[in-house]
């Protein structure tokens, strides 16, 4: 029987990476979205759109059951805007959890490092204490706790924790909105000190890991957490790699946090972003020991290649710098 995955939020940045990854692995993909799917997902024979609101669990279940007799995996790739997390994240997560339970499916969730609070240590493993000392940390800790508690009612679930996304299609990451936003002018905008390690997740690699974990569905009873190491790099390494790709020196410039904080008085999204400044002032990396034990070595695209693949899609054609495509990864 063909394996089927239901991706909630398939039109989002992670969803657009997950759909093709599962389809290429031979899975039937049910792609839930409120709006039409992006062009790269349309026309793929193994990807079927489900046009409905993720909060309407009744309509979602009806469409999913009409599309497939059995759905062993549900992925909650829903991610409301930062400034609307308080209002939207809990009900979206509850709907995703109810859908997975009704289908008897494994619920997979992309996690992040917010759970570890403002003073997170450099090494983040499964024993690292969670600290609900920010609003986003409290929301994420509560969300994952509800998933874990539902194991008593038969829900199987996995949290796959990763660093900041980059690559894939669409926009909305630190890389395209800040770091690469002025490369055409020879400027490298960085949110923190260049000598601190920061955790990143290249979306095509992360999507492949989701597929490989989903294929272990039979082993994943109860609640599980795994860390995806991705790319843990200092800002200086990112700068030097971009300079080699760009073929020119770049002028480092700090993100204007003070201006953003001031603007946050009027723009809620700016206020929400400035709340995350601490992540750029604390070195951190994810330790993936348990993930390695489950699936072996995960997909890992070399940094230079990942950036080369990402940046042309992030800058408009008029602004795209001429990249050095002869550089070896």
Query: Does residue 270 belong to any structural domain of this protein?
Result: no
Q: Output the pLDDT for position 322.
A: 46
Range of the domain at 80: 4-163+203-229+284-300
Q: At 36, which CATH number?
A: 3.40.50.720
Q: Output the pLDDT for position 255.
A: 94
* Percent of the chain residues past pLDDT 70, beyond the cut: 94
User: CA 269 to CA 279: how far, in whole Å?
Assistant: 17
Contact 205, 160 (CB under 8 A): no
For the chain, what is the domain count?
1
Give phi and psi for 161, each to the nearest 5: -85, 135
The answer, yes or no, to whether residue 187 has pLDDT greater than 50, is yes
CA of 93: how far to CAs of 64, 271, 323, in Å? 18, 23, 40
Closest to 174 measured CA to CA, from 80, 259, 277, 284: 277
Lowest mean pLDDT across 26-30, 286-290, 314-318: 314-318
Q: Spell out a b/e string for 219-236, using b for 16 or more CB atoms within 10 Å of the CB, else e.
A: ebeebbbbbbbbbbbebe
Query: Does residue 45 belong to any structural domain of this protein?
Result: yes
How many helices (DSSP H) and strands (DSSP E) are in the chain? 11, 14
Query: Does residue 32 belong to any structural domain of this protein?
Result: yes
Q: Output the pLDDT for position 214.
A: 98
Query: Does residue 253 belong to any structural domain of this protein?
Result: no
User: CA 59 to CA 156: how far, in whole Å?
Assistant: 22
Query: Does residue 269 belong to any structural domain of this protein?
Result: no
**158-181 average pLDDT score:** 90
- DSSP strand pairing (231-234 vs 197-202): antiparallel
More confident residue, 30 or 80: 30
Q: Output the pLDDT for position 44.
A: 85
**74-89 average pLDDT score:** 92
Lowest mean pLDDT across 236-245, 250-259, 310-319: 310-319
The answer, yes or no, to whether residue 141 has pLDDT greater than 80, is yes
The answer, yes or no, to whether residue 294 has pLDDT greater than 90, is yes
Can you read off the two tokens belonging to residue 74?
């549900």
User: CA 160 to CA 83: how far, in whole Å?
Assistant: 23
Contact 103, 74 (CB under 8 A): yes
**239-246 average pLDDT score:** 92
Query: Does residue 21 belong to any structural domain of this protein?
Result: yes
Query: Does residue 34 belong to any structural domain of this protein?
Result: yes
Q: Output the pLDDT for position 173.
A: 87
Confidence of residue 313 (pLDDT cuts 50, 70, 90): very low
For 174, half-sphere exposure in the C-beta direction (CA atoms, 13 angstrom radius) is 22
The answer, yes or no, to whether residue 259 has pLDDT greater than 60, is yes
Q: Output the pLDDT for position 295.
A: 98
- DSSP strand pairing (123-124 vs 164-166): unpaired
Q: Output the pLDDT for position 269.
A: 86
More confident residue, 122 or 37: 122
What average pLDDT does the chain have?
92
Query: Does residue 42 belong to any structural domain of this protein?
Result: yes
- DSSP strand pairing (187-190 vs 251-254): parallel
């Amino acid at each position: 029987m063909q394996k089927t995955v239901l991706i909630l939020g398939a039109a989002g940045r992670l969803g657009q990476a997950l759909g093709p990854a599962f389809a290429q692995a031979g899975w039937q993909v049910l792609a839930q979205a409120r709006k039409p799917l992006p062009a790269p997902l349309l026309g793929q024979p193994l990807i079927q759109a489900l046009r409905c609101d993720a909060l309407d669990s009744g309509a979602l279940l009806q469409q999913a059951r009409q599309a497939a007799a059995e759905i062993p995996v549900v992925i909650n790739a829903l991610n409301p805007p930062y400034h609307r997390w308080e209002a939207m994240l809990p009900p979206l997560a509850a709907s995703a959890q109810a859908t997975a339970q009704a289908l008897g499916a494994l619920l997979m969730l992309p996690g992040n490092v917010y759970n570890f609070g403002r003073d997170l240590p450099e090494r983040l493993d499964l024993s690292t204490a969670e600290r609900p000392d920010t609003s986003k940390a409290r929301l994420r800790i509560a969300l994952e706790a509800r998933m874990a508690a539902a194991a008593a009612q038969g829900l199987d679930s996995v949290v796959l924790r990763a660093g900041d996304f980059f690559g894939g299609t669409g926009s909305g990451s630190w890389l395209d909105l800040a770091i690469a936003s002025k490369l055409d002018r020879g400027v490298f905008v960085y949110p923190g000190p260049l000598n601190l390690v920061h955790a990143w997740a290249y979306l095509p690699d992360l999507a492949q890991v989701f597929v490989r974990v989903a294929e272990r569905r039979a082993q994943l009873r109860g609640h599980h957490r795994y860390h995806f190491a991705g790319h843990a790099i200092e800002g200086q390494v990112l700068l030097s790699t971009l300079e080699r790709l760009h073929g020119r020196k770049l002028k480092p410039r700090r993100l204007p946090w003070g201006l953003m904080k001031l603007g946050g008085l009027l723009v809620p999204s700016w206020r929400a972003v400035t709340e995350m400044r601490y992540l750029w002032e604390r070195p951190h990396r994810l330790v993936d020991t348990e993930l390695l034990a489950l699936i072996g070595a995960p997909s890992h695209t070399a940094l230079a290649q990942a950036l080369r693949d990402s940046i042309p899609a992030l800058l408009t054609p008029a602004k795209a710098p001429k990249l050095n495509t002869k550089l070896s990864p």
